[in-house]
Amino acid sequence: MENEVIFRKCYSDKIKPFIGKQIIKVLTGQRRVGKSYVLKQTIKHIKRLDKNANIIYIDKEDLFFDSIKTAEDLHKYVKDKTAKKVKNYVFIDEIQEIKEFEKAMRSLLKNFIYDLYCTGSNANFLSGELSTFLSGRYIEIPVHSLSFLEFCEFHKLQSDKNSLMKYLKYGGMPYLKHLELEEEVVFQYLKGVYNTVIYKDVIAKNDIRNTAFLENLVLFLADNTGQLFSAKRISDYLKSQKVNIAASQVINYLNHLVSAFFIHKVKRESIVGKRVFEIGEKFYFEDIGLRNAIFGYKQTDIGKIMENVVYNHLLHCGYEVTVGTDGDREIDFIARKKGEKMYVQVCYLLHDSKTIEREFGNLEKIKDNYPKTVVSMDEFTGNSKNGIKHSNLLEFFSKFP
């Protein structure tokens, strides 16, 4: 293992209560967001807690472990590496590459000498294999690309506007700490990550034939980041471009991208009736740098980019997020955690009275007392309007939630 592991405390805090417990710790998330390093920081922590710990580590992206292809292979390998009279901590990276892995995990879980951890880069293995065979015997810990403050820590930067602009452009993929933060270098690396995710976790996993359409769909999502639309709208747009794709196929491709954690689908809900709508979602990218690398970073897109990173920040902070709607009024985000909620509007600049009225006015019409915040890139901050706070983006990342 690498000697330098930068601890991501938010994930350590989530894992620590379950160390040594008879429950599988499952780290999920897009490839290259740092799940392997969270495993490694957990191993370091366990070695400090238990001097006799026997660590069994399997990395399915390493050719050395290529022979472990089935549940039987996995079970035999772990048994062969098991030490007697001590606790055996089993770590399996990209476990979805092992056929019927859940059978081996269920068998190992019955023995108290094992403490089990794994990572996965496709949500289907959670909704299918794990939930069927291991219901109630695992916890899911979503891992995301770096938050802004983590980005500053990884790159040894001050938390200031210059660093913020780099984050908005390059995103938070952890490996960027090893590269110069220059557009040509970073985007070349990120395009490689994009190809890996798309071809390994989407195309190969789902046996997709129409790869050209999938790539065009990703570009459409990048161009319409944060826009409300349905599969039919996408299908109609593609027809206007002489591409005839059924709405049902668009839905399937979108679900594949969501399952690979490449994009997030955010549902709408009625502010008044709390009804969740089945159509008209928003889509955001797991990492804004990937979006910029494949679509291009344009100043005219700053509003879309800001909305995407605010959504990502809320996820990183553990909120469940929906889009609020009431007739023709829209609230960018309703964020819930531990029985509480807050409302967030995102705007590039509050440059005139009409914009101020729109962004604050939509929040003012909500008749409850939960916190309400407008986030923008304006330098001034700390102001409020009828109890609704204003925060610039830098402050929001540093102080919220």
Tens-place pLDDT, residues 340-390: 999 999 999 998 899 999 999 999 999 899 999 999 999 876 678 888 999
- Listing DSSP states for 376-400 in one string gives ES-S--S-EETTEEEEEHHHHHHH-
Edge-to-edge, what's the strand order for the sheet holding 24-28?
54-59, 88-93, 114-120, 24-28, 138-142
Q: CATH homologous superfamily of domain 9-142?
A: P-loop containing nucleotide triphosphate hydrolases (3.40.50.300)
CA distance 233 to 250: 10
CA distance 171 to 287: 6
Using DSSP's 3-state secondary structure scheme, residue 19 falls into: coil
CA distance 367 to 187: 45
Q: What is the pLDDT of residues 256-302, one digit of tens each?
A: 999 999 999 999 998 876 666 656 799 999 999 999 999 999 999 99
Residue 93 near residue 56 (C-beta atoms within 8 A): no
Half-sphere exposure of 278 (CA within 13 A, CB side): 1
CA distance 28 to 278: 25
Q: In angstroms, how far is CA 123 from the centroid of its own chain? A: 11
**What's residue 169's pLDDT?**
98
Residue 397 near residue 160 (C-beta atoms within 8 A): no
**What's residue 5's pLDDT?**
67
The residue among 303, 333, 331 whose CA lies nearest residue 315 is 333
Burial 142-159 (b: 16+ CB within 10 A, else e): bbbbbbbbbbbbbbebeb
Q: Could you read off the pLDDT tens digit of each residue along the chain, which spans 401 residues?
A: 455 668 899 999 999 999 999 999 999 999 999 999 999 999 999 999 999 999 999 999 999 999 999 999 999 999 999 999 999 999 999 999 999 999 999 999 999 999 999 999 988 877 665 667 777 889 999 999 999 999 999 999 999 999 999 999 999 999 999 999 999 999 999 999 999 999 999 999 999 999 999 999 999 999 999 998 877 777 777 778 777 888 888 889 999 999 999 999 999 998 876 666 656 799 999 999 999 999 999 999 999 999 999 999 999 999 999 999 887 889 999 999 999 999 999 999 998 899 999 999 999 999 899 999 999 999 876 678 888 999 999 999 987 65
Strands (E), 88-198: 88-93, 114-120, 138-142
**What's residue 168's pLDDT?**
98
**What's residue 233's pLDDT?**
78
Predicted TM-score of the model (pTM): 0.94
Residues 6+ apart with CB under 8 A from 49: 19
Domain residue ranges in the chain:
9-142, 148-399
**What's residue 381's pLDDT?**
63
